[in-house]
Amino acid sequence: MAIKNTGTSKGDRMNFGTFDDLEGHFIDTVHFPPSAAKYPFRGRGVYELHGKVVEEFDFQSIEVEAMFKLNFCDDPRYTDKVEQLKVIS
């Protein structure tokens, strides 16, 4: 996940994001000021995105209307001890 914070000509905050899906494909997102204010990014992690797919200049992205950070478990391949596995929120 990568995030670019920017502002509108009126000084409102908005974001651009890049996410990768379960298959490793990337999708870019646009978070206009109402969505960016109501659903801010909450750090690295797994997000559920709601919005509409738009295409401009033969390029597809999602205009995000709602975004929720989801819980996930540590990957055991990168943990020395199974007992250390925990849910991260």
pLDDT digits (tens), the chain, 89 positions: 789 999 999 999 999 999 988 888 999 999 999 999 999 999 888 899 999 999 999 999 999 999 999 988 766 776 666 555 566 66
Q: Confirm if 85 and 72 have CB atoms less than 8 A apart.
A: no
pLDDT at 17: 95
Class of domain 2-88: mainly beta
Domain ranges of the chain: 2-88
Distances (CA, A) of 38 to 3, 31, 50: 16, 10, 13
SS3 65: strand
pLDDT at 82: 57
pLDDT at 87: 61
This model's pTM is above 0.85:
no
pLDDT at 83: 59
